[in-house]
Structure 1
Amino acid sequence: MDELPIGRRVAYWRGQRKMSQQVFADRIGRSKSWVDKVERGDRRLDKFSMLYQIAVVLQIDVAMLLDRDLERGSTALGSYEQRELDDLRQALERSAPAAAIGRAPATPLHELAQSVNHAWLTYQYARYGVLVRGLPGLLRDSRAADAYHRGDAGRQAASLHGQVLQIASSALRKFGESELARLAADRAIGSALRAEDELLAAIATSRMANALLAMGRARPAFEANMVMAQRLAPADPGAADPARLSVYGSLLLQAAMAAARLGDNEGVRELFRLADEAARVLGGDRNEYWTSFGPTNVELHRAAAAVELGEGRQAVAIHENQIDHRALAALLPERRAHHLLDLARGYLLVGETGHAGEALVEADRVAPWEIRGRPIAHELMADILRRTKGAAPALVTDLATQMGARV
């Protein structure tokens, strides 16, 4: 990660806000010397909590500090570079806690927790360039904390490290790095067990299952989700804790996606019946354990499962008639853009190429990083261009150019 441009950006925006180094330092709780070193590129700036704090003080989006695409235009990989992905891979390969035994953590647990919270938000806002650049440092910090602390602090540290591994797993799966995603999720399960957090372990298992599904292993993915769902199934859903109900419902949705990949229509229907029941009891869309589970997400997965079953018309009908679009607009960008990708696939299944292009353009408007940095989105764009008769609409052509596709 090239730190000098980040420091220059901090200096630029500080100047735009007419703040002296001392005033800026006071507002972020650091020394003037610290600010000077950051702006000269002599000090690393890769902690999520500090990046977000600086962005708040400077009144800018954090992406303006880190996403170099804002300056140079999009690349084929979207918002990150292969070198940065390699850095994440290396950090993950060294993420076993045993590698950090004996090292006192440099980051206090409360600050680490704040950084993990920001990393989750960065993922759910689909800011993948920011995420890839910050995750290696967060993996190192959380690994050190996990290896060092004991007792209650040790369980908290294990939970935080497990969450970072889950974020890495989800991001890597989106980048097409399924085997690395599986490795990260597997380690996240171990961390969750050390944290003695059954729900965290269940979600980590589901992320491992998602990686298996991406690798074409639908049967073990289905079984892994079902084992955990059955373990968490409430005897009385009405009396269940919202977090447990959310994790349980999320497992059902992921199992339904695996069942759809297996062509099990009856199994898909039954799983959505159970998920519907859990969502109704929950009463609305929530984000317990970062699952985004609720009635709206159930419908988004129902549409996605229809696409997997080859039922494009049904997927489009679900989008048009069953999804509460106000509730959809209230979801975080990653979920909304992901759904629009599924909708574009549904339109292609029924030969409506123009609508597929419109859905992809809308997805890019919601979350550019979800479209420009994901292999599946590039494949979808190529398919749209191949099927378009004559010249593609201007907005589709513009997006294809920005994605690096041949028009």
Structure 2
Amino acid sequence: MIGEQIVRLRSAAHLTQEQLAERAGISVDVIRRLEQGVRHSARLNTLTKIAAALGAELAVIIAPRTTFAPEPDRGIPAIREAITSSTVDQLGGLAETDADIDLKRLTASVDSAWHIWQRGEYSILGRLLPALIAEARHATRECAGDDQEHAFSLLATVFELAAGVTVMLGHEDLAWLSVERAVAASEQCGDEVTKASAVYWAAWILRRQGRYRDSLTAATRAAEIHEPRMTRATPAQLTVWGGLLVNAAGAAARDDRAVAATELLDFARTAAVRLGQDRVDRWSVFGPRLVAQSAVVNATELGDFETAVRLAADVEAVRSRVPATWESRYLLALAQAEVELGQDIPAVATLHQARLLTPEWIRYHRLARDLTAELNARIPAGRQPELDELTRHIQLA
């Protein structure tokens, strides 16, 4: 647990709770409550300050929010081999002379994998990725002209999916290698949307690794390069550009830069209005509901919990929908704000909704686990059946 790690590192550094709080520039009460287990979570910005004060990496303080699946994923070795192999016959055993190129079928397979990712079914996607990487890379070698560019676009998407799955399973080295491969593949095709999408994923991985300023820089630079003309922009261009801005705003919020987060999200909102509805494709997810949800998430990250709960009404006013995993990530942020405000019963209902939407996805998230533990400490067992169900579902001891 977070508190146990802080105690261990603080003791090793021969610091009192007061001294650590002073170094970190936070309240000693926060340190005390974390170490005593009264609180099971804190804002990432707070944890980053504690880690810096202790001379430790953030990952040492808090285990990744995505390493609590019920069982280790057995597909990781095959994914690792597929990502790191340099010849086609090493990639899942696919020899160049054994496979016919069918770009239409490969495109359909990649689209299917994308939808599996959006549903948060990582165990299924993990089994599919090795063969998809092999086939997409094989297609880039065997095709020519426009077909080859299309194959490279598909390969970039597959590597993006590999980055997503591996970071969710806690393998950050593989995630970063995958996203580097995605960027390299995108440079081999003439599609600007594919190039922007690869940078979007790189910025997202950086943000998950706690490298907020690097993430902000990457996303904003890409947004400047790929900014479309509003009157002529295609839906795909608006989607990936808006996604870059949302990503940048999220990085700014986690870096405690409220003004920058608000300004970037305002730019994104302009693109969302132009788009008219939420759009889901294999480059990005973006639209009015996503922007409204991002405002809630960012307010929570900034510690403005009352604003986060208030802004939730704006989300419900938008009728379009986003994929289940995006919906659940917003619900986790809302539940966190509700917990912080002492709104325990609404928080239980919010977490229950997230569990129903994404039963597998929620088991990978440390935040869901921490919030459930916090609520269990406040609400007696048996008082809220939905909380008891969630506790059993995520296998919280």
Give the TM bin, normalised by the shorter chain: 0.7 to 0.9
CA contact 1:178–1:212 (8 Å) conserved in 2: no
Aligned: 1:222 with 2:221: no
1:386 and 1:94, CA in 2 relative to 1: closer, same or farther beyond 3 A?
A: farther
TM-superposed CA distance for 1:117, in Å, is 0.7
Q: Which moved more, 1:209-218 or 1:370-379?
A: 370-379
CA contact 1:102–1:147 (8 Å) conserved in 2: no
CA contact 1:242–1:288 (8 Å) conserved in 2: no
Which residue is equivalent to 1:242? Answer: 235
Which residue is equivalent to 1:335? Answer: 326
Q: Secondary structure at the match of 2:246?
A: helix
1:302 and 1:178, CA in 2 relative to 1: closer, same or farther beyond 3 A?
A: farther
Q: Secondary structure at the match of 2:120?
A: coil
1:37-96 per-position Cα deviation (integer Å, ceiling 9, x unaligned): xxxxxxxxxxxxxxxxxxxxxxxxxxxxxxxxxxxxxx9624x64322333233222267
C-alpha distance in 1 between matches for 2:81 and 2:119: 25
After TM superposition, the score normalised by the length of structure 2 is 0.76
1:239 and 1:157, CA in 2 relative to 1: closer, same or farther beyond 3 A?
A: closer
Q: How does 1:109-188 map to 2 (within 5 A)?
A: 109-188=103-182
Q: Secondary structure at the match of 1:297?
A: helix
Aligned: 1:277 with 2:270: yes
1:115-137 per-position Cα deviation (integer Å, ceiling 9, x unaligned): 00100111112222211121122
1:175 and 1:95, CA in 2 relative to 1: closer, same or farther beyond 3 A?
A: farther
1:392 and 1:144, CA in 2 relative to 1: closer, same or farther beyond 3 A?
A: farther
Q: Secondary structure at the match of 2:236?
A: helix
C-alpha distance in 2 between matches for 1:217 and 1:376: 19
Which residue is equivalent to 1:40? Answer: none
1:222-260 per-position Cα deviation (integer Å, ceiling 9, x unaligned): 0000000011223x4233222111111110000000000
Which residue is equivalent to 2:315? Answer: 323
1:92 and 1:290, CA in 2 relative to 1: closer, same or farther beyond 3 A?
A: same
Which residue is equivalent to 2:43? Answer: none
CA contact 1:226–1:252 (8 Å) conserved in 2: yes
Aligned: 1:294 with 2:282: no
C-alpha distance in 2 between matches for 1:95 and 1:354: 53
Q: Which moved more, 1:220-229 or 1:305-314?
A: 305-314
Aligned: 1:370 with 2:361: yes
Q: Give the residue type in structure 2 aligned to 1:111.
A: R
TM-superposed CA distance for 1:150, in Å, is 2.5
Q: Secondary structure at the match of 1:351?
A: coil
TM-superposed CA distance for 1:102, in Å, is 7.9
CA contact 2:240–2:283 (8 Å) conserved in 1: no
CA contact 1:285–1:295 (8 Å) conserved in 2: yes
Q: Give the residue type in structure 2 aligned to 1:246.
A: T
C-alpha distance in 2 between matches for 1:182 and 1:173: 8
Q: Identical aligned pairs, as a percentage?
A: 29
Which residue is equivalent to 1:405? Answer: 396
Q: Give the residue type in structure 2 aligned to 1:324.
A: E
Which residue is equivalent to 2:23? Answer: none
Which residue is equivalent to 2:351? Answer: 360
TM-superposed CA distance for 1:390, in Å, is 5.9
Which residue is equivalent to 2:374? Answer: 383
Count of matched residue pairs: 328
Which residue is equivalent to 1:257? Answer: 250
Q: Which moved more, 1:350-359 or 1:88-97?
A: 88-97
